[in-house]
Amino acid sequence: MRALVGLVAVALPVVAGAADAGWGYFGGTSGGTRYSTAKQVDRENVGDLAVAWRYSTGELRRRGPELIANSSTQTTPIVVDGSLVFCTPFNRMVALDPATGRERWVYDSEVSLDHALPYHYNCRGVSAWRDPQAAPGSACATRVFMGTNDSRLVAVDSRTGRACSDFGQAGQVRITRDWSDKFAGESKITSAPVIAAGVVAVGSFVMDNIRTDAPPGTVFAFDARTGEPRWKFDPIPRDPADPAFATWLEGSALRTGAANVWSTMVADERRGIIYAPVGSAAPDFFGGMRKGDNLYSSSLVALNARTGKPIWHFQTVHHDIWDYDVSAPPLLAELPHGGGTVPAVVQNTKQGFVFVFDRVTGKPLFPIEERPVPQRGLPGEWLSPTQPFPTRPEPLVPTEVTPDDAWGFTPWDRHKCRELIETFRSEGIYTPPSEGPGTLLTPGSAGGANWGGAAFDAKRRLMIVNVNRVAQVVQMIPRAEIPGIEGISLARGKDVAAATGTPYGTRRDWLLSPLGAPCTAPPWSELVAVDLASGDVRWRVPLGSIEKQLPIRFEWNLGTPSLGGPIVTAGGLVFIAGTMDGYLRAYDIDTGEMLWRHEMPAGTQATPMTYEVGGRQYVVLVTGHHLWFDSPAGDEVIAFALPRRGK
């Protein structure tokens, strides 16, 4: 392993006060547990939560409707050096007083504004690091890192927001890939950096299904103090001497892109291991140009934080042609196993599977079986005969749709849904994409679980995760039938993608009735509690109401598609937003009973967070537009707290 200069540095967030419960990482903790020790707000008083303060970033006015429409607000703040720090979709970093919402400083990265729809602007979070060699109170003793939509990594002083001049060139390093983007926004950094062993590492978003030779999904790591490059890890092995190269038949690793880490990585700081959730290779739905299992695409990979070398890996999908990226951040936990306690890593997937491993060795804690899956792919396609299935926990979402599963508000639309399902190829999960009417993806490529990930209560050994339960139709279109299309065309929830370099483009749509509702039975999104000691599902409840789609508004909790994840608190509560109905909700962690909800003024496709400062607990959510949900535009950070005594 490469020796580090000076002391071994660790990521150390500085929260509002030594006795306060903080939120120092995007995922609450370095292991992404999204758990807070704050307990002032509990099951008895959560109904009294009220808005404590609001702050507007000004992005609505600053950017205008066209740019806002091409953005998604998914950010979760952190608390560092007594400030609440977050990023806007346009990479402005903002620090607020966590008790009042008063602005303390703003850093504008002056991101390039030439991204065309739908290559949208997004920034999920920032990360903080305390330099153990820096004198307390000195400039950039604690710095905040942010990746940008134009592929830079910036570092600013946590107290002032000024660029750290000793990091890279005037506080930033520019990511340079081996292959260039075809257009602005094809690749970018959208998720919070991860920091371990004195290095700061970033993955990248690469636009899906555009072309076979997409930009590579390389993870880049830099010295957290100087910005000097430390290592890179390309999940597609380009070296023929690498044993994983053999899983790309006919040398296709040299011609393929993506397999990118676009979601959030987490770190076991003590052991110096970074856990990287890797996406699918390009393009998403036809793999005839990249035959073979395609390691390390669609895998969880444990990396040595000092060298970037893989320690172990597990591929959740062999030869992924369903866009089943490993999209949820891994979750680190201590779990009982074999009469003792094992340091574990838990990986939720779009398929609704939960894989649980010893995070040091990669050994599964619950058995995983290779099971036969449907075959008969398109001409020229290559299919894996089997796929891995965890034996526990059970799949969190349905993995098959038949005509008998058709659902409707009335007998008429149920009949229409049955007719519709009968037209598609549908043989259960991993049915290959097809021409003609198309193939049903169950679950759809939005999940199952997605980038919001899960939360974990260590005392209860209970994992809470939101999952989507809507099937998707994928139709492969011969190249001759889509002349002139380059990139992705969006229209009313459908998209047509070029997938250049293959014989087919792709059309995707949701499986909906003539009335616009899913053709499968509700709930269409659920909040699920899983006992990670036994693998049992403890409870599951619908997540979201369709009240805003009804002619007469009333609460009807059939679930709505959701993006963004839950958090849990020592007060016995689960907080989650993410739904299409625009509510922030609180649930009893032991029963799943909804105890409180508050309607927000704009889109809620972000994960909330919580902290205590000055003896008061706050629950915070950043609201704003979301491109895929077409949620209402907004730019507010909204904090909730219990009323002060005497008021």
Domain with residue 574: its CATH number is 2.140.10.10
Q: Which residues contact 286 (CB under 8 A, 6 or more apart)?
A: 321, 378, 381, 433, 476, 499, 502, 503, 504, 506
Cβ–Cβ under 8 Å, residues 34 and 458? no
Please give the positions annotated as active site: 323
Across 297-324, b (16+ Cβ under 10 Å) vs e yields bbbbbbbbbbbbebbbbbbbbbbbbbbb
* pLDDT for res 61: 95
Amino acid, res. 594: M
Whole-number CA gyration radius for the chain:
23
Backbone φ and ψ for 412, nearest 5 degrees, come out as: -65, -50
Across the beta sheet with 573-576, the strand order is 35-36, 567-569, 573-576, 583-588, 594-599
Amino acid, res. 363: K
How many structural domains compose the chain?
1
Backbone φ and ψ for 587, nearest 5 degrees, come out as: -125, 155
Count of positions (residues) in the chain: 647
- What CA–CA distance (Å, rounded) separates 133 from 338? 42
Q: Which residues contact 551 (CB under 8 A, 6 or more apart)?
A: none
Tokens linked to 239: 């070296």
Residue 565 within a domain: yes
Helix (H) or strand (E) holding 506: strand 504-510
Cβ–Cβ under 8 Å, residues 279 and 325? yes
Q: Where are the beta strands (DSSP E) in 401-438?
A: none
Q: Which domain holds residue 143?
A: 35-641
Nearest partner of 579 among 619, 548, 539, 553, judged by Cα: 548
Q: pLDDT digit string (tens) for 37-72? A: 999 999 999 999 999 999 999 999 999 999 999 999
Nearest partner of 208 among 478, 452, 475, 446, judged by Cα: 446
| DSSP helix/strand/coil, 162 | coil
Which of the residues in the chain have pLDDT under 50? 1-19, 490-493
Burial class (CB in 10 A: 0-12, 13-18, 19+), 366: middle
| DSSP helix/strand/coil, 29 | coil
Nearest partner of 14 among 158, 120, 139, judged by Cα: 158
Amino acid, res. 189: I
Nearest partner of 143 among 123, 124, 165, judged by Cα: 165
Q: Where are the beta strands (DSSP E) in 148-296?
A: 152-157, 172-174, 187-188, 194-196, 199-202, 205-206, 219-223, 229-233, 266-268, 273-277
Residue 573 within a domain: yes
Cβ–Cβ under 8 Å, residues 234 and 281? no
Residue 3 within a domain: no
Cβ–Cβ under 8 Å, residues 299 and 315? yes
* pLDDT for res 491: 42
Gap between the terminal Cα atoms of the chain: 59
Cβ–Cβ under 8 Å, residues 163 and 171? yes
| DSSP helix/strand/coil, 512 | strand
Q: What's the Cα-to-Cα distance from 501 to each of 165, 280, 594, rounded to whole Å?
A: 43, 16, 49
| DSSP helix/strand/coil, 472 | strand
* pLDDT for res 180: 80
- What CA–CA distance (Å, rounded) separates 190 from 71? 11
* pLDDT for res 13: 38
Tokens linked to 292: 């073979």
Residue 424 within a domain: yes
- What CA–CA distance (Å, rounded) separates 106 from 175? 23
The neighbouring-strand residues paired with 610 are 619
- What CA–CA distance (Å, rounded) separates 108 from 103? 14
Q: Which residues contact 413 (CB under 8 A, 6 or more apart)?
A: 513, 514, 515, 517
- What CA–CA distance (Å, rounded) separates 277 from 292? 20
- What CA–CA distance (Å, rounded) separates 192 from 128? 10
Q: Where are the beta strands (DSSP E) in 191-317?
A: 194-196, 199-202, 205-206, 219-223, 229-233, 266-268, 273-277, 299-304, 310-315
Residue 281 within a domain: yes
Residue 618 within a domain: yes
Q: Where are the beta strands (DSSP E) in 133-198?
A: 142-147, 152-157, 172-174, 187-188, 194-196
* pLDDT for res 59: 97
Angle, alpha carbons 380-383-386 (nearest 5°): 170
Residue 265 within a domain: yes
**Model-level pTM?**
0.95
* pLDDT for res 327: 96
Residue 28 within a domain: no
- What CA–CA distance (Å, rounded) separates 524 from 394? 18
Cα dihedral 416, 417, 418, 421 in deg (nearest 10): 130
Tokens linked to 500: 């250049």
